Amino acid sequence: MINIIMKDAMTEQASITAHKVGRVLWDVTTVAADLHAALSVILPDLDMRLAALRQELPCAHGINPFQSGAYQRPYRHLRAFYQDTGAGVLAHKGTEVYAHDLDQHLAVLAQFRIDYPVRGKSLFSATEHFALVEQKIPLAISAYEAVEDAKAACMLQQAHLKRFGNLASIPTPLLVIQWPASARDSHLAALRSLLSERAMRIVETSSADGVAAIIYHYPSLPLRVAHLPVELKKLGNTPWLQRLSSLTAGYGLTPEQVVDRWIDLVARMLALGFLPGRTEHIGIGHCLEMQNAVIDGGFVDLGSIIPMVEVRSDAAFMEMLMAAFADLSKTVRHFMLGPVADVEAEYRNPSLLMLACLQRVVPALLQKLRTYPELEPRLQAYLDRSESGCFSALVEEFQYLSPAMLNPAEHA
């Protein structure tokens, strides 16, 4: 996670201007009629909204946090702002290519040095990090990324609707649009003086099919766990959990209910045959990580999910399952405690706080998971092992989780 501070409050009334769409790349009406029908019940004017959005999208003039009428950009939501519909929000992600202060924000990202956990401060700027590490375009979305995110969210949401009869607290993608070529060209021109030659080549390749925007519906304003320190600072200096309770009350929930909803949703993901995070997404954004966990008990940015049937290796399956347990536990720890430093001098791997979270979160998740029949065979095998002897279960799992080492005699 990258901690970039732009401004600490709603500091401006950003104006909104509509910009013409180049073409529609993905449309819920034609791709997912079941999701369209389910969301139309929640949002009766959905078709009217979609018809307008296929022609032009509202774009905020500023990237700083703002609230203006039905539109709002919370703190640190650099690539999305939200429109209140009265029945959830419509997220507008990828419109920043038209922001009036784009150059200013790109300059800040170019000066900001990444601080990697454990490794420390890096020579990489945030702009270099996005291009070189995450393979993303700073403050823009490639057409490929937008379509893949829509497909992933659609796949999980359709499976959830079919089995459970309702929409999960995850994005329901509506549209992916491609901006005119002029938007891509001007954005690349703004980046050229800020990126190394190698990073620029990656950005140019990533944007070869254009830059895009994605519109999705989410049942509430998606404030993230990673943003809680700033959100709770607005509520005074009472103890963290007391302020947290006040904030979640706005969603009609207690903090305990939020954690229960996360556990239930992850159990449903697994029962539906999905792992929350691909290995190649580690370090650049699993949907269970605190920057993607929403304080209403949902998750966003689902590009990391993968159907279990696509995981060919038993070792990869076990690694991704363990990563899900670790990511969810870490998110719960940050949600309940905030930016409290772990005592790590004696116990770093894991810290005592993380051990406490793992001991409570994982059994609760497995208990929920056991209520679902017909699980993926490898997932069922893991549950069966967890009920057998500790030693024999670990022998089985260590063969998948222990890193294979090259034989020095053969590779001297």
What DSSP state is assigned to residue 294? B
Could you report the per-residue pLDDT of 292-334, keeping only the tens digit for each? Answer: 999 999 999 999 999 999 999 999 999 999 999 999 999 999 9
What is the pLDDT averaged over residues 249-268?
Answer: 98
> Over 60: is that where the pLDDT of 3 sits?
no
Contact 199, 132 (CB under 8 A): yes
Cβ neighbourhood burial of 404 (10 Å; 0-12, 13-18, 19+)? exposed
Query: Residue 357 corresponds to which tokens in the numbers above?
Result: 């979270």
Give the model's pLDDT for residue 340: 83
Position 404 scores a pLDDT of 65
For the segment 11-70, what is each residue's pLDDT rounded down to a tens digit? 555 689 999 999 999 999 999 999 999 999 999 999 999 999 999 999 999 999 999 999
Highest mean pLDDT among 115-124, 343-352, 388-397, 403-412: 388-397
pLDDT of residue 6: 36
In the 8-state DSSP scheme, what is residue 195? S
Burial class (CB in 10 A: 0-12, 13-18, 19+), 97: buried
Report how far apart, in Å, the C-alpha atoms of 62 and of each of 82, 103, 270 are: 13, 11, 39
Phi (first) and psi of residue 275, to 5 degrees = -100, 135
Please tell me which residue, 405 or 60, carries the higher pLDDT value.
Answer: 60
pLDDT at 12: 53
149-153 CB contacts, 8 Å cutoff, 24+ apart? 149/173, 149/214, 149/301, 149/302, 149/303, 150/26, 150/176, 150/214, 150/216, 151/26, 152/302, 152/303, 152/304, 152/305, 153/216, 153/302
List the Cα angle 345/322/372 in 5-degree steps: 140
Question: Average pLDDT of 288-293?
Answer: 95
Distance CA 259, CA 163 (A): 22
Evaluate if residue 403 carries a pLDDT over 90.
no
E runs forming strands in 152-269:
172-178, 211-218
Looking at the predicted structure, is the pLDDT value of residue 120 above 90? no
Report the percent of the chain where pLDDT is more than 90: 79
3-state secondary structure of 371: coil
Q: In this model, does residue 107 exceed pLDDT 70?
A: yes
* CA 363 remoteness from chain centre: 24
Q: Are 262 and 328 in contact (CB under 8 A)?
A: yes
Tokens 């103890």 locate to: 239
C-alpha 254/C-alpha 306 separation (Å) is 31
Q: Indicate the pLDDT class of residue 122, thresholds 50, 70 and 90.
A: confident
> What percentage of the chain has pLDDT greater than the value 70?
92
**Is 8 a residue whose pLDDT tops 50?**
no
Pairing of strands 274-275, 306-307: antiparallel
Task: Specify the DSSP class assigned to residue 16.
Answer: E
pLDDT of residue 2: 37
Identify the burial level of 272 via C-beta atoms within 10 angstroms of its C-beta, where 0-12 means exposed, 13-18 middle and 19 or more buried: buried
Q: Mean pLDDT over residues 355-370, rounded?
A: 96
pLDDT 10s digits, 149-174: 999 999 999 999 999 999 999 999 99
In terms of Cα–Cα distance, which of 379, 326, 372 is closest to 159? 372
Let me know: does 29 contact 151? Beta carbons within 8 Å: no
Q: Supply the DSSP string of 154-183, one letter for each residue.
A: HHHHHHHHHHHSS--SS-EEEEEEEPPHHH
Q: What is the pLDDT of residue 117?
A: 63
Per-residue pLDDT tens for 213-252?
Answer: 999 999 999 999 999 999 999 999 999 999 999 999 999 9
> Tokens for 10?
């709603």
Euclidean distance between the first and final Cα of the chain, in Å?
37
pTM for this entry: 0.92
Average pLDDT over residues 135-146: 96
**Whole-angstrom Cα distance, residue 33 to residue 251?**
29
Reduced to 3 states (helix: H, G, I; strand: E, B; else coil), residue 375 is coil
Yes or no: say if 34 and 161 are a contact pair by the CB < 8 Å rule: yes
Which residues fall within 8 angstroms of residue 206, CB to CB, at 6 or more apart?
Answer: 131, 135, 136, 137, 142, 144, 145
Lowest-confidence pick of 257-271, 329-343, 355-369: 329-343
pLDDT at 144 over 80: yes
If you search the block for the tokens 């830059």, which residue do you land on?
211
Residue 118: the pLDDT is 61
